[in-house]
Amino acid sequence: MVSPSKHLDTAETNALAYWHLQSFKTKICCIGAGYVGGPTCAVIASKCADIKVTIVDINQARIDAWNSQDIPIYEPGLEEIVFAQRGKNLFFSTDVDAAILEADLIFVSVNTPTKKTGMGAGFAADLAYIEAATRRIALVAKSHKIVIEKSTVPCRTAESMRKILDANSRSDVTFDILSNPEFLAEGTAIKDLQNPDRVLIGSMQTPAGLKAQKALASVYARWVPQNRIVTTRLWSSELTKLASNALLAQRISSINALSAICEATGADVDEVSYACGLDSRIGPKFLKASVGFGGSCFQKDILNLVYLSQSLHLPEVADYWNQVVLMNEYQKRRFAESVVKTLFNTITNKNICILGFAFKKDTGDTRESAAIAMVKYFLKENANIRIYDPKVPESQMRYDLTVEDNVDVDIYNKRVKVCDTAYSAADGVDAIVVLTEWDEFKTLDYKRIYEKMTKPAFIFDGRLILPTAELKKIGYQTITIGKGDVE
């Protein structure tokens, strides 16, 4: 045995590394080094020192970033885990085949965006990435593999994966397919993974399927109490992921619908949601009114559910869930319109400060962020926009607006300025619009900001986080979602 304190030469280091790698009892491969695969497998590595976890991706830049000091995803606590495990039992690589070849368990964590064209466009999930990853597994595998759906997929995707695997693999290779959806929320991913409400594992109810289910359960059992590891049928597990997100989003749309009534009646949506949430049957979570939910999951998963319902000839069910998304669109439009109306029905050439571009606080993710729709709306009204977000870089905002959302590049260059601080973004503007609930926006020196603003100085709170009474005292005209003018 080599003493760890001894200085090793290269041959010894290689020998030790080889010995170390051979000592791993189980090997996990995760295909897709994104928001789901990265944090999930980093936590598995941190909890299971005897398991080798290799996260692979076809995106070289992303893998390079995971292997650098500047990892590609901002998530509290993630960096510490990656730095502690990387090179020990956690590896990032573009060598997809090598990782598949040696793995016992393979997580498929690739992206499943909503289809933009063709059949089911705007609703159905694009399964092209899942299919490509599955075909790769079939082609490369030389021994039994447990293939785990981690990405959110439509109900019965495992069936298609099974057909692809069976039709394209060696005759002596067998596969078990499990569904193990991820329920982590961005910003609290590490906490959610370390202490999950539940881990769900769906499998076929065959002896082999149940054995595979047990094998995966035994990985989670290292740190998750047994009673939180829930095993179900494959299709139930697949549907539960869509159902959970639909139910959560439905609560937000419900409180947002009520926020419109509050504004019209003088009721206060925070008071309503607090009082409703005290009923233990309702509970307090996911009842915070907002400018609209964003993120990569809610809209996509509900649209998926709508498509599934339509495909199953259940139009009433499809309409029911679709209304959750329509209400979200309405909320964004309503808030944007209220800015224009309040600023005397025109914002042409006015300067609007946007505080927050991420879809929620504590993440740099902008997917489906309400801010994108809002900025686009203001640009159509010929406003000048100054944006500050503590975590979203200018390149991302430019990409979201010009590439993803077709804002003309010349207009972007002329009218959008991304600032380094909230103070520079708010310097001398006509209105401030808070779109992400970053904590730092609660405690800015609003008196200092007010002094330089055009008067009347308007501040719009799309997240109900600002100290409204104080702001009013300073002289601001405050407009808050879900709060009428009546005191």
Tell me: does residue 296 bind ligand ADP (CB under 6 A): yes
Task: Report the C-alpha gap between 128 and 115 in whole angstroms.
Answer: 10
Structure-token match 């939910």, residue found: 293
The rounded distance, in Å, linking the Cα atoms of 69 and 409 is 32
**Residue type at 424?**
S
131 exposed, middle or buried (CB, 10 Å; 0-12, 13-18, 19+)?
A: middle
Is residue 34 a contact residue for ligand ADP (CB under 6 A)?
Answer: yes
Q: If you write DSSP's letter for every residue of 419-459 in order, what string do you get?
A: -SSHHHHHTT-SEEEE-S--GGGGSS-HHHHHHHS-SSPEE
Which partner, ligand ADP, ligand UDX, none, binds residue 133 by CB below 5 to 8 Å per kind? ligand ADP
Q: Which of 36, 425 has the CB closer to ligand ADP?
A: 36
Binding partner of 59, given ligand UDX, ligand ADP, none, CB within 5-8 angstroms per partner class: ligand ADP
| CA–CA distances in Å: residue 453 to residues 354, 379, 427, 440, 477 | 14, 20, 7, 20, 12
Q: Could you tell which of ligand ADP, ligand UDX, none binds residue 360, using a CB distance below 5 to 8 A set by kind?
A: ligand UDX
List interacting residues with ligand UDX (CB under 6 A). Answer: 182-186, 245, 248, 252, 286-288, 290, 293-295, 297-298, 359-360
Q: How far apart are CA 185 and CA 369, in angstroms?
A: 15
* 41 residue type, one letter: C
User: Contact 355/419 with Cβ under 8 angstroms?
Assistant: no
Q: Is 290 annotated as a binding residue?
A: yes
Neighbouring CB atoms inside 10 A of 100's CB total 23
Output the smallest distance, CB 193 to ligand UDX, in A: 11
Is 353 labeled as catalytic in the residue annotation? no
Residue 82: CB atoms within 10 A of its CB come to 22
Record the tokens describing residue 62, joined without a space: 């992303």
Q: Could you say whether residue 67 binds ligand ADP (CB under 6 A)?
A: no
Judged by beta carbon distances under 5 to 8 A according to partner kind, the member of ligand UDX, ligand ADP, none in contact with residue 183 is ligand UDX
Three-class SS of residue 92?
A: strand
Binding to ligand ADP by residue 109, rule CB under 6 A? yes
**Closest Cα partner for 132 from 108, 159, 98, 101?**
108
103 binds ligand ADP (CB under 6 A): no
> Contact with ligand ADP (CB under 6 A): which of 96, 148, 425, 444?
96
From residue 248, alpha-carbon distances to 195, 257, 287, 321, 324 in Å are 19, 14, 9, 12, 10
* 151: contact with ligand ADP by CB under 6 A: yes
Catalytic residue among 29, 30, 48, 297: 297
Q: How far is the CB of 367 from ligand ADP (least distance, A)?
A: 8
| Alpha-carbon gap, residue 125 to 116, rounded angstroms | 9
386 touches which of ligand ADP, ligand UDX, none (CB within 5 to 8 A by kind)? none
Residue whose CB is nearest to ligand UDX in the complex, by number: 295
- The verdict on 110 binding ligand ADP (CB under 6 A) reads yes
DSSP-derived letter for residue 268 is: B
- For residue 210, the partner it binds in ligand UDX, ligand ADP, none, with Cβ less than 5 to 8 A by kind, is none
Report the partner that residue 184 touches, choosing among ligand ADP, ligand UDX, none (CB closer than 5 to 8 A by kind): ligand UDX
CB of 84 to ligand ADP, least distance (A): 22
Q: Does the annotation place 98 within a ligand binding site?
A: no
5 is in an annotated binding site: no
Per CB under 6 A, the list member of 35, 175, 335, 446 interacting with ligand ADP is: 35
The answer to whether 419 and 387 have CB atoms below 8 angstroms apart is: yes
Using N-to-C axis directions, what is the helix angle for 234-265 and 269-277, rounded to 10°? 140
138 forms part of the interface with ligand ADP (CB under 6 A): no
**How far apart are CB 132 and ligand ADP at their closest, in Å?**
4
Annotated binding residue 428:
no
Known binding-site positions for NAD(+):
32-37, 57, 62, 110-114, 151-152, 186, 297-300, 367
Known binding-site positions:
32-37, 57, 62, 110-114, 151-152, 182-186, 241-245, 281, 288-294, 297-300, 359-360, 367, 463
Tell me the catalytic residues: 297
Site residues for ligand ADP per CB under 6 A: 31-37, 56-59, 62, 96, 109-111, 129, 132-133, 136, 151, 296
